[in-house]
Structure formats: structure tokens, C-alpha cells
Structure 1
Amino acid sequence: MSLAILAIFLFISIFLLVLYGYPVAFTLCGLSLLYAVCFLDLAVLTLLPNRVMGVMENSVLLAVPLFVFMGIMLEKSGLAERMLHTMSELFGRVRGGMAVSVIVVGALLAASTGIVGATVITMGLISLPPMLKRGYPPSLATGVIAASGTLGQIIPPSVVLVLLGSVLGVSVGKLFSAALVPSLLLVGAYVLYILALGVLRPKLFPSGHREGSPWNAAFLRNLVQSLVLPLLLIVAVLGSIIIGFASPTEAAAIGAAGAMLLTWSQQKLTWPTVKDVCRETTHLTAMVFMILLGATTFSLVFRELGGDRFLVQLIERSDLTEYQFLFLVMVVVFIAGFFIDFIEIIFIIVPVVTPLFVAYETDLIWLGILLGINLQTSFLSPPFGFALFYLKGVAPPEVKTVHLYRGIVPFLLIQLALLALVIFFPEWLW
């Protein structure tokens, strides 16, 4: 029992040090090794090389750098700006048409990149100034951008889902399939909210306008290059995984190659661009895998100290039902999302609670989708949501923090409604 209490102290101390600002990977690894040396038989550490090799030999994790490469390459291609311009022409006569365009482009960009910070910053730079110039209220414009930018957490192919699949020990392809309907429902709910707002409160939106008809040769060419081709790439990547034609890693390789071709079609595939993309991909991938190796060390020491058995016994004695425990975990993850990144949450909190959900015989695919939606919601929640900080960093001076807080509330309510729908009616979704 004393060792089990030490395991809980290990978890709490790591969490506090991460909040204080210490590097996550080295905190996980260093503190876990210190506890192992002080409180365990050193023979336990002979198990660590096998654990590390198990991570290195996990071919599914190769999808992470490939999806990151795909997303950054598409970001550098300039497709986002062209997509927004094309969609704005398409929805030109609709009140709120530009906001709808931002949501659709944000969803496509999120599906392409899977990186929240990159999507929010990109959408903020290319769409916030035009929306403000057209007369959109700052709160509405920032709410739309922040909400659409965080869709990368749940829309497959998502790096979040790849990492969750690895930690939960479930098929990434099944996670992608299960996330498809909830993510489409979320995008649809955002669009319906904007259209309904345009009918009920038309003064919030500038009047729709469009000179002439966009359906000419130039518009159709732009539509194919900026919208249809990226959509086909996403469908090819997802479809090959869902129908079982390719593994997530193979599909990610297809996506990376396709992203290079799309960037070449935009005449942006230069040697400096390739170097920048490779440098950023290496940086992000190294960060993820260093945290993963640290989390592997933490998981080994935590279990050898008996932390997982202690938590299972604690839950059994507390007589919590599966849904009560799920609610507790969702609240903890939601609050943690204010302060630490999703990668850290996945590698610190999820491995600790997974054995407890296994004891409850919880569907881990369902749990992965809930965690993905929950992380996305916490990224939007005032006062500490990461997406709000990203957007404020690129917003014009006239956009105040209170505008971001006020504008995001309706989208938060939509996400919470979706989370409740997935919790109580999962059979409706897949």
C-alpha cells in the first residue's frame, strides 16, 4: 500500500512540475527514474529497454511525422487563402456566407493539418481582417475562427486520434471511422447556427452580395485547385484507412506525397519551403516522441509501484458507476486542458485511467472519441483556452480578449451538446 501511495505522489508531483513549466519529457523520465532508484528494486529498470524498443518498433506511430509533414506542407502551399476566397464567392449571396466559408475552410484545413495552433493562426491571419472589414462583429468573427480552428482535434486524420489509439491500445482506423460522424455533425451544427443567426438576427451580418455569376471558367478552375483537390486528398487518406486498403502509416505516406503534389500545383514547392517543412516536422515529431519515451518510463514505474492496482481498488471501494467515473475523468481532462497541451494529457493522464476503464469493460473506441471532443472543448474554454491565446496573438489591436470570450460561448454550448449526445447515444453515431 505504501508503494501505491508513492505512485500517486509520483503522478501528482509530475503534474505539478509540468504546470510549473518544467520540460514534460524530462520531467516524466527523470522523476520516474528517481522514484525507481529510491523505492524499487533496480532490476525493474532492466524492463525499460524492451519498453522503449516496443515504442520504436510501433509502425502506427510513423503516421505521426507523416501527418504532421502533410499538414505543414499544405499550410505552406497557400491553399487556405485560396479556399477561403473560393468559398466566399460560392456563398456570396447568403447572410453570414463568409462565416460559413470560414467554418468549411477551417474544417478542411483541420482535416489536412490536425494541428490546432497552426490552423487557428492561419485562419486568424487570412480571415479575421476581411471579416472585420466586411462589418462582422469582433466577437462573432473570433468565435467562428477559434471554433473552426480547433476542429483538427476530432476530424480525422487527426494526430490526437493517432496518439490516443496508441495509448489506449485500439485501432487507429476504427478511431477514425468512429470520429467521422461526430465531426461532421459538429461542422454541420456550426453552419446551421450561423445560418439560423443570419435569419433571426440579420443585423449581425453584412448583407450578402456578389457581382455577377461566379460560375465561369476561372471560378471553376479555382474551385478544383483550391477545394476539390484537397478534399480528394483527405478522402483518399481516410477512405484507404476506413475500407482497410491501407494502414494509417501507409495512408499518411499517401497524404504526405499528395500534399507535396498540391503544393507543386500552387507553384509553391521550392527548396526553401521543403527545408522549412522538414525542419518544423522534425521539431514537432522529436517533441512528441521524447514525451512518449518519458511517458513509457513513467508508465513502467507507476505500475511497478502498484499505482494502477491501487486506483482500481479505490474505484471499487467508492462504488462509482461507469458513468460517474467517466464524468470525473472528463472534468479532470477538461480542466487540465486549460494548462497543458493535449500531447501531455494523452501521455500523463490517459495511461493512468485506461486500466480502470478496462475494469469497467468500457468501449475504448468510444472513450477515445469522448476524450478527443473533450480536449477540443477545453481548448476553446475561457479563460485559459489555448486556441483563444493563439488567435489573440494574431488579432488586430481593436479585437479585445472579451470579444474572444463572448464569441466562443455559443460554439462551446454546441460542443457540449455533441459530447452529451456521444455519451448517451453512441449507437446513433456509428
Structure 2
Amino acid sequence: MEWLAILMFVVICLVLLLGYPVAFSLAGTALIFAGVGHVFGVFDSSLLNALPSRIYGIITNQTLLAVPLFVFMGVMLEKSKVAEDLLQSMTQVFGRLPAGLGIAVTIVGALMAASTGIVGATVVTMGLLALPTMQKQGYEPSYSTGVIAATGTLGQIIPPSIALVLLGDVLSSAYQQSQLAQGIFSPETISVGDLFAGAIVPGLILVGMYLLYSLAIGVFKPEWTPKANNSEPLHLMELLKSLVPPLLLIVLVLGSILLGIATPTEAAGIGAFGAGIIALAKRQLNKETLHAVMTSTLSVTSMVFMILIGASIFSLVFRGFGGEELVQELFINMPGGELGALLIVMAVIFLLGFILDFIEITFVVVPIVAPVLFMLGIDPIWLGIMIAINLQTSFLTPPFGFALFYLRGVTPDSIPTSKIYKGVLPFIIMQIIMLVVLMIWPELATSLPKLIYS
């Protein structure tokens, strides 16, 4: 039966490459294989009786309620022109430095990542706002597009990231499953708050690396980043008006989670309400805006939950064919032990990131490999942060990186795609360095959660 599990995984990748809807491809392929397996007597169809309880578990999952709330928060901030005001203020602050506009874009991108948690929204917003200004100022197109795409993907790792919310829920289930498989009955689990805390230091290090790169470009390649002839004077009140509201919202949301005052779902509710207040204060909240925000939230949330239901059906059939035991046996017998298994998983996730979105990888691949890695002794929080940064890197990697497609959609035809590819390469190298650093010093991801929750 095991070879049918492998064949099913290969078929689903091919079906997704053909462009069919992800949720229905996952569920449909799994049910077809289950039917064929039942006919030939190699699949126990009674396993499908667990589907209703699985779907009910998804619907009643309190952690996943954070998804629509964080999406609402991010879209509302996007519509309320927070990024536009921030970029204008940051340009005034850093405009006199070498590559000042690039530094401003990096800081605003990081703040937007911490405010929205949605990669596509951040990349598109920054591309529409910053790229025309950078072109007008004479910035090198490859550098401009590279810094915009890279800072846009920070939404994968900087909390409150939707990717970390979904990863936290999946890793928690996988951790409990690995504990039960070893005969350990413990209430200990992995929370979204653990991943948020674990992602803060690596996320800030990545932002620091991006800033140092921009500064180095400004110093050693000044022709790539010409200074503006007439820098506007800095208006302190305008700076505070644009900077304080999103920063206050970030502190409220993350602070309430990290201090244990609120669960991620409750904090997401605070964020959604706070984003509405900011939009109202900026006089951007009206009937049309609210309708657009709610429509976008409904669309993204429906997509996430339909994919989750499809992935649940897929994983159930995959396990019915003995796929889980096959993966476990493969990893245990792999040379290099836990390090060899981890490297293989990271390579597979990186390659799958070219063709699958992070949601599909989180719901399909992670539940299969994570329990085995946990049984090998790998720290769950460290694994979650490694996966998040890995997916962030695959988002940027040519030719199939999703962030590149988002940016290409808002980039003028005068900038060739080759320039975008060239621009993201230094940032890909930085993210790979970050992964290596995390492998050498896992404490960068695990120390803060232990400090906060000990």
C-alpha cells in the first residue's frame, strides 16, 4: 500500500501544477485514490468515517478563529493608507542617508509585515507606493525591486504572521501526535504565542541584515541610489501621526499575546478593532471601504478553511495507505540522524515552495513530516521558525517565487523580469545565511519563548 501513498503525493503535485483549485484537488485526488484502493482491497474505507469529526474540529478550532481577524486587520490597514503615510515620513527621516529611500522601504515593509501578516498585500502595496518614487529618483531597478520583494516577504516571519498562526496550529497537533506515539501523555503543547515569541529575534536579525545591505549599496554603489536633490524638511508631528498608530497596534497585539494577557484569537480581535479605529481616525472608513475589507477577508478566510478541509481528507487517506509509517521509517533509517532528516525536509519544503503556497505546504506536508522529526528530538518551536524562514526564501527564489509574481504584476514593463530576479538574489543569500545561523544557534528562536513562558 505504501507505494500508493507516494503515487498519490506525486499526482497531487501534478494536478496542482495544472492549475486546478487547491482545496478541491486535494480532496478529489484523495477520494479517487481511496475509491480505487477500496475496489482492490488495499484501503479500509471505514477510515473515512472520521471525516465529519475532523471537519467539525476545524470549524470549532479556537486558534484558527484568529485567521479571519488578522486578515481583517491587515486589509483594513492596507485600505486606510497607513503604508503611504509611513513611507512618506520614513523617507523624510532617512532621505539624507546613503540609499535612504531603500532603508525607508525596508523599515516600512517590516512595520507593514508586523501590521498585516499577509505577504501578497505587503508586496503589492509597497510595489505600488515605493517603486514609482524609486524610479523617479533614479534608483537601480534591480535593487529597487529586490528590496521591495524581500521586505514584503517579512510577513512570513514577523508576528502576527498568518503563516505562523497556521503553523502553530498544525505543529501543536503534530507534537501531541508524536507524544502519543511514544506513549507520553502530557498536556504540554505548542502554542501560536510560542512561535510568535520565537520569530521575533530571527525576524529582527533579517531586518537588520537588509538594512546593512542597503547601507552598503549606498556607500559602495552610490550610482545605484542617487540622493534626492531637494529633501523635504522633517515634520515631527507628521512623523508621529504616521508612526504611532501602527506601532501602538503592534505593541497591543503582540504584547497581549506574549505577556499572556490574551490568546492569539483575542489579540486578533483587538487588532481588527484597532485597525478599524485607525481607519476611522484617518477618515478612510466608509461604507465602500468596509465592504471591500469584509469581502477580501471572506475570500481569504474561505480559501484557507477549504484548503484545510481538503488537506484533512488528503492526510487521512495518505495515512490509510500507510504513508505515515513509510515517512517515519525513511527518516529513522536516514544517514545523519536528525540533522540528515531535517536537511531533507528543508530541501523538500524549499522546492515545494516553488509550486505550492505556504498554506498548502503547512496543511499537507508539515503534518506528515513534523511528528517524525519531533520523535527524533527536534525542538518544535525551532522547527516552526526554520520552516517559516524556509518558505519565505522559496517565496523569493526565481523563477517561481510567489513574491516575484506579485511584484511583476505591479511593475512597469520598462523593468524586465531579469532585473527582478537579479535584485532578489542578495536577499535570498541573506535568508539562507539566517537559516544556517539558526541551525548553529537554535537558541535564537527558542530562548525568548522559554524566557517569557517559563
Would the TM-score normalized by the shorter structure come out above 0.5?
A: yes
Query: Could you tell me which residue of structure 2 aligns to residue 318 of structure 1?
Result: 334
Q: Which amino acid aligns with 1:229?
A: P
Percent identity for Structure 1 against Structure 2: 53
Among 360, 368, 382, the residue aligned to 2:376: 360
Per-residue deviation, 1:42: 2.7
Q: Contact 1:7 / 1:302 at 8 angstroms: preserved in 2?
A: yes
SS at match of 2:158: coil
1: CA distance, partners of 2:139 / 2:297: 35
Q: Contact 2:137 / 2:227 at 8 angstroms: preserved in 1?
A: no
1:92 aligns with 2:90: no
Distance 1:270 1:104, change over 3 A: same
1: CA distance, partners of 2:441 / 2:161: 23
SS at match of 2:353: helix
2: CA distance, partners of 1:342 / 1:278: 23
Query: Could you tell me which residue of structure 2 aligns to residue 137 of structure 1?
Result: 140
Q: CA RMSD in A?
A: 1.4
Among 212, 227, 244, the residue aligned to 1:192: 212
Query: Could you tell me which residue of structure 1 aligns to residue 195 of structure 2?
Result: 175
2: CA distance, partners of 1:392 / 1:137: 16
Per-residue deviation, 1:90: 0.8
Q: Contact 2:346 / 2:387 at 8 angstroms: preserved in 1?
A: yes
Of 72-81 and 188-197, deviating more is 188-197
1: CA distance, partners of 2:123 / 2:233: 31
Of 366-375 and 298-307, deviating more is 298-307
1:36 aligns with 2:58: no
SS at match of 2:333: helix
- TM-score, structure 2 as length reference: 0.91
Among 225, 228, 236, the residue aligned to 1:220: 236
Query: Pairwise mapping of residues 28-427 of structure 1 onto structure 2 (< 5 A)?
Result: 28-39=26-37, 40-169=43-172, 170-207=190-227, 211=231, 213-214=233-234, 219-427=235-443
Q: Contact 2:6 / 2:323 at 8 angstroms: preserved in 1?
A: yes
Query: Could you tell me which residue of structure 1 aligns to residue 13 of structure 2?
Result: 15
2: CA distance, partners of 1:6 / 1:81: 52
Per-residue deviation, 1:41: 2.7
Q: Contact 1:14 / 1:28 at 8 angstroms: preserved in 2?
A: yes
Q: Which amino acid aligns with 2:105?
A: V
> Deviation above 4 Å: which 4+ runs of structure 1?
208-213
Give deviations 1:204-255, integer Å, cap 9, x for gaps: 22136655742xxxx2332222111101101110111111110000000000
Query: Could you tell me which residue of structure 1 aligns to residue 185 of structure 2?
Result: none
Per-residue deviation, 1:352: 1.3
Q: Which amino acid aligns with 2:199?
A: A
Q: Which amino acid aligns with 2:194?
A: K
Q: Which stretches in structure 1 are left out of the alignment for 5+ residues? A: none
Q: Contact 1:88 / 1:98 at 8 angstroms: preserved in 2?
A: yes
1: CA distance, partners of 2:44 / 2:442: 45
2: CA distance, partners of 1:302 / 1:248: 31
Q: Which amino acid aligns with 1:280?
A: S
Per-residue deviation, 1:413: 1.1
2: CA distance, partners of 1:359 / 1:306: 18
Query: Could you tell me which residue of structure 1 aligns to residue 25 of structure 2?
Result: 27
2: CA distance, partners of 1:5 / 1:408: 39
2: CA distance, partners of 1:428 / 1:390: 31
2: CA distance, partners of 1:400 / 1:385: 16
SS at match of 2:403: helix
2: CA distance, partners of 1:130 / 1:211: 13
Of 390-399 and 258-267, deviating more is 390-399
Per-residue deviation, 1:314: 2.3
Give deviations 1:150-176, integer Å, cap 9, x for gaps: 110101000000111111112100000
Per-residue deviation, 1:52: 1.2
2: CA distance, partners of 1:235 / 1:373: 23
Of 185-194 and 349-358, deviating more is 349-358
Distance 1:192 1:360, change over 3 A: same
2: CA distance, partners of 1:331 / 1:133: 40
Give deviations 1:124-161, integer Å, cap 9, x for gaps: 11100110111111111111111111110101000000
Q: Contact 2:334 / 2:340 at 8 angstroms: preserved in 1?
A: no
Per-residue deviation, 1:289: 0.1
2: CA distance, partners of 1:198 / 1:211: 17
Of 318-327 and 20-29, deviating more is 318-327
Of 349-358 and 97-106, deviating more is 349-358
Q: Which amino acid aligns with 2:209?
A: A
Give deviations 1:346-374, integer Å, cap 9, x for gaps: 11211111122122121111111011001
1: CA distance, partners of 2:231 / 2:371: 60
SS at match of 2:208: helix
Q: Which amino acid aligns with 2:337?
A: T
- TM-score, structure 1 as length reference: 0.96
